[in-house]
Amino acid sequence: MPLLLLLLLLDSATAAFESPESGESALPPRSGTSCQLLSREVLTGNSTTPAVHRLRLSLPPTARFPRCCDDSSPGMIHVRVKAPDAAGQPLRFNPYSAHLNPDQRSFDLVVKVYPGGPPAHPGVSGYLGELAVGDRVHVPEIRALDWRHESPRAGLVCFGVGVTECVGPAEALLENGGEVRMVTANRNAEDVVLLEELRELLVKYPTRFRVRHCISQTTAAETNLAMVENESMTQGRVDYRVLMEEFGGKWRDGGAAEHFLMVGTAAMEQAVIGMIARARLYDFSKIRGHPLFLLIKGPHGDNSKWVALSPSESDESVEL
């Protein structure tokens, strides 16, 4: 199959997978879709790239997590955050990866806060970046995507803040006995976020988890930071050679890399698929119809639709 055709086919199989709409994002906020900002933590302070914030938001008591994945896993959860209408930008909403906290009453978003906003851009991340603790946020919708949580050998490529979408699956795969190898891609060593979470997993699973940080704009000396076992940092961008080095050959159980997750912009995710082909990590000539090597099942999976964060019955509109 020609690579261009394959790349077009794969577009709907990555995190940008299109789900049917509920229509809730067009409606005003109500108590069941209004979440309070409980805390904010700035994860990066590097002035050359936009900062990344961890926001903890309350979950309304009526909130529901949509059914997916044949009830075998909660799925990869995304929420839509809607910023108030602005001149030139009447419908400002974007999806974010959501992480439910153990108390089940709050969830975290890890957001890269881009400068710029209305009227030229929606500026949803900028809106999230400016909220004060205690403010309320409109979170109209939620969805869950099905993925291969039983994968025995998974290679994860996580660009920038995209690592937020990788940590949960990595943890679940390791808990299920799988082997996980992760490549992160950032401009500067200071931009790598969620290091604490990654290192906890590296310590907990010393034989089945490894991480390589690829830093594109840092000198070799600066990449010489303290690493834990099975963690490395190299200078340069992610390319097919990096994927060959990290994901190629036999893995611990003697098998080859079986599934891949790539999280970044659509262009970055497409580029990784090209690298997988060039590194010969998967035999693309065998692909007939939708490929099975992606960790996200896409059209093969039992995905939820976008659903309202809370059912609409007996719910009052609220002012934000």
Ligand X SMILES: Cc1cc2nc3c(=O)[nH]c(=O)nc-3n(C[C@H](O)[C@H](O)[C@H](O)COP(=O)(O)OP(=O)(O)OC[C@H]3O[C@@H](n4cnc5c(N)ncnc54)[C@H](O)[C@@H]3O)c2cc1C
**Measured from the CB atom, is 112 or 259 closer to ligand X?**
112
**Which residues in this chain contact ligand X in the complex, by CB under 6 A?**
15-16, 78, 94-97, 110-112, 114, 116-117, 121-126, 161, 164, 265
The least CB distance from residue 253 to ligand X, in Å, is: 31
Paired sense of beta strands 136-145 and 307-308, if any: antiparallel
Beta bridge partners of 317: 30
User: Does the annotation place 305 within a ligand binding site?
Assistant: no
**Residue 62 marked in a binding site:** no
Is residue 110 part of an annotated ligand binding site?
yes
81 is in an annotated binding site: no
Q: Would you say 112 and 45 are in contact if contact means Cβ atoms under 8 Å apart? A: no
Beta-bridge mates of residue 154: 180, 259
By beta-carbon proximity to ligand X, the closer residue of 187 and 290 is 187
Indicate the residue among 121 and 199 with the shorter CB distance to ligand X.
121
What SS3 class is residue 257?
Answer: coil
Alpha-carbon distance of 110 to 139, in angstroms, equals: 15
The rounded distance, in Å, linking the Cα atoms of 273 and 236 is 19
| Omega cis (within 30) before 119 | yes
* Least CB distance to ligand X at residue 298 (A): 13
Comparison of 224 and 265: residue with beta carbon closer to ligand X = 265
Nearer to ligand X, 13 or 279 (CB): 13
Burial 165-178, CB ≥16 within 10 A → b, else e: bbbbbbbbbbeeeb
Shortest Å, Cβ 158 to ligand X: 11
112 is in an annotated binding site: yes
Amino acid at 136: R
Backbone angles phi, psi at 109, to 5 degrees: -120, 140
Distance in Å, CB of 97 to ligand X, minimum: 3
Q: How far is the CB of 255 from ligand X (least distance, A)?
A: 29
Binding-site entries for FAD: 110, 112, 124-125, 164
Binding residues are: 110, 112, 124-125, 164
